[in-house]
Amino acid sequence: MNGKKCSMLSPAVSAHTKQLFRLDTNRPVVGSGPVLFGLNAEALAASMVEIGEPVWRGRQLAEAMYRQWVADLDGVTTLPKALRSRLVAGGCAIRRPRIVQTFVSNDGTERYLVEGQVLESQTVESVWMPDGDGGEAGDGSGADVPKQSNGENEKEWQRATICVSSQVGCAVNCQFCLTAKLGLQRNLTVGEIAGQVVAILDRHAVEIGKDRVNLVFMGMGEPLLNYDSWMAAVRLLVKEVGISPQRMTVSTSGIVPGIERLAAEPPEVRPKLAISLNAPNDEIRSEIMPINRKWPIEAVLDAVRKMRLRPRERITFEYVLLGGVTDRPEHAQQVARLLRRSGLPAKVNLIAWNPGPGIAYQMPQPEAVEGFKRALVAEGVPVYVRRPRGRDIFAACGQLKRTIEAAT
């Protein structure tokens, strides 16, 4: 680690800091020191006590970073100036991830490259979808219901969805996904995961508790393969930022141990679950999602059945329609049978595959999408078709790959 050491931090903070730098297989951010953004209120309080400050100084720091979205220590005016100077002199910094590049789609979607906390060169991708993409519909949380107009200070959007990344690249290697082409480069830290959300909330002046904003952990990476950091970020977003876990959905390719850990989380912090199913049977699924050979469909469903669902909560099954591969009428019948047999309260989100360079699949014909939907409806399965958002800026599902050239 090249950065200055902040000798004033508690062991908990130092351990966290070490974790940040242990993940750094390349070069740390030039001039960086230990990072405060990503620590929870308890760790911040412990560090304040350690340097002889009252415990509530930690709460003040947490309030400033996570509620008021103050991005540097100088701006934390609830702390005495002398303390701020001491922290800065000791090498501490908030280092909240910043949006460094924005790509704006003609449908209003925005894709961001967000600065990492660890590496100078590696950015993280996130997407802002004003008015969502339909993926929130029908899961029992009411997340898709526009807020009532109060006639004053109206924003341009009624509700919005933020798509959050959990890793740089991904190891899961789904054959239809552009992110898979990167391979896994590294796990994101707690601060990098929560920081994407806070940077975007700040950019759009979101009012927590008033505006309808949903989070989907469906960006780059497999969240359940970075479970500890991802779940710590979720706790931070729930407890410190104030976002309800019922407004959050985590999507997994079917990592059984991760689903089992999620099932054991208390309902007050557990996000809703989406399973990226994408195929009607193990044979096709293993072909397009090699992870299925390790955890086939039945093993995934067994793990999902361990979840204690909230009243009216449904498990979302995402289904990417690949032209000629997964979009046939008989596939729809098989999916309906599979879900019926599972006994789970389920809904299906259909996603017409988004093309990406170097991936040989075909987009489904619009009639195939419609036919698939009709077949599921006829079998009594609740089904929604995701609106493609931000295809022109490579922001749509499966397209995140730090495609900077899309801006030019």
The site that binds ligand SF4 (CB under 6 A) totals a number of residues, namely 12
Confirm or reject binding of residue 253 to ligand SF4 (CB under 6 A). yes
What minimum distance in Å lies between the beta carbon of 397 and ligand SF4? 8
Choose between 41 and 256: whose C-beta lies nearer to ligand SF4: 256
Q: Which of 92, 170, 174, 397 is catalytic?
A: 397
Going by C-beta distance under 8 Å and a sequence separation of 6 or more, which residues neighbour residue 303? 256, 259, 260, 263
Span of 128-136, 172-180, 305-313, 356-364 interacting with ligand SF4 by CB under 6 A? 172-180
Choose between 73 and 304: whose C-beta lies nearer to ligand SF4: 304
Confirm or reject binding of residue 223 to ligand SF4 (CB under 6 A). no
Q: Are strands 123-130 and 159-163 parallel, antiparallel or unpaired?
A: antiparallel
- Interatomic CA distance for residues 16 and 67, integer angstroms: 21
Choose between 213 and 275: whose C-beta lies nearer to ligand SF4: 275
Whether 152 is a known active-site residue: answer no
- Interatomic CA distance for residues 278 and 95, integer angstroms: 38
- Torsion angle (degrees, nearest 10) of CA 281, 283, 286, 292: 50
- Torsion angle (degrees, nearest 10) of CA 68, 72, 78, 80: 180
Choose between 218 and 369: whose C-beta lies nearer to ligand SF4: 218
Going by C-beta distance under 8 Å and a sequence separation of 6 or more, which residues neighbour residue 7? 90, 91
- Which residues are registered as beta bridge partners of 129? 161
Going by C-beta distance under 8 Å and a sequence separation of 6 or more, which residues neighbour residue 374? none
Confirm or reject binding of residue 301 to ligand SF4 (CB under 6 A). no
- Interatomic CA distance for residues 302 and 300, integer angstroms: 5
Choose between 180 and 193: whose C-beta lies nearer to ligand SF4: 180
Confirm or reject binding of residue 179 to ligand SF4 (CB under 6 A). yes
Name which position in 180, 182, 279, 335 contacts ligand SF4 (CB under 6 A).
180
Q: Are strands 346-352 and 383-385 parallel, antiparallel or unpaired?
A: parallel
Compute CA 245 distance to the chain's CA centroid, rounded to the nearest angstrom.
12
Span of 95-103, 132-140, 219-227, 237-245 interacting with ligand SF4 by CB under 6 A? 219-227
What minimum distance in Å lies between the beta carbon of 400 and ligand SF4? 7
Name which position in 170, 213, 224, 344 contacts ligand SF4 (CB under 6 A).
170
- Interatomic CA distance for residues 39 and 42, integer angstroms: 8
Confirm or reject binding of residue 221 to ligand SF4 (CB under 6 A). yes
182 to each of 27, 57, 88, 277, how far by Cα in Å? 19, 42, 36, 22
Q: Which of 53, 110, 125, 222 is catalytic?
A: 125
What minimum distance in Å lies between the beta carbon of 172 and ligand SF4? 4
Span of 58-66, 138-146, 177-185, 208-216 interacting with ligand SF4 by CB under 6 A? 177-185
Choose between 39 and 174: whose C-beta lies nearer to ligand SF4: 174
Name which position in 53, 107, 110, 222 contacts ligand SF4 (CB under 6 A).
222
Going by C-beta distance under 8 Å and a sequence separation of 6 or more, which residues neighbour residue 18? none
Confirm or reject binding of residue 127 to ligand SF4 (CB under 6 A). no
Choose between 177 and 395: whose C-beta lies nearer to ligand SF4: 177
Name which position in 9, 70, 174, 259 contacts ligand SF4 (CB under 6 A).
174
- Interatomic CA distance for residues 140 and 138, integer angstroms: 6
Confirm or reject binding of residue 349 to ligand SF4 (CB under 6 A). no
Going by C-beta distance under 8 Å and a sequence separation of 6 or more, which residues neighbour residue 313? 139, 140, 141, 272, 345
Q: Are 89 and 183 in contact (CB under 8 A)?
A: no
Q: Are 95 and 37 in contact (CB under 8 A)?
A: yes
Q: Is 358 left (phi over 0), alpha (psi -120 to 50) or beta?
A: left
Span of 80-88, 93-101, 176-184, 354-362 interacting with ligand SF4 by CB under 6 A? 176-184
Q: Which two tokens mark 326? A: 């997964």
Name which position in 129, 177, 248, 250 contacts ligand SF4 (CB under 6 A).
177
Whether 170 is a known active-site residue: answer no
Choose between 138 and 356: whose C-beta lies nearer to ligand SF4: 356
Q: Are 115 and 32 in contact (CB under 8 A)?
A: no
- Interatomic CA distance for residues 107 and 12, integer angstroms: 44
What minimum distance in Å lies between the beta carbon of 173 and ligand SF4? 6
Span of 24-32, 220-228, 341-349, 378-386 interacting with ligand SF4 by CB under 6 A? 220-228
Instruction: List residues binding ligand SF4 (CB under 6 A).
Output: 170, 172-174, 177, 179-180, 220-222, 253, 398
Where in the sequence numbering do the catalytic residues fall?
125, 397
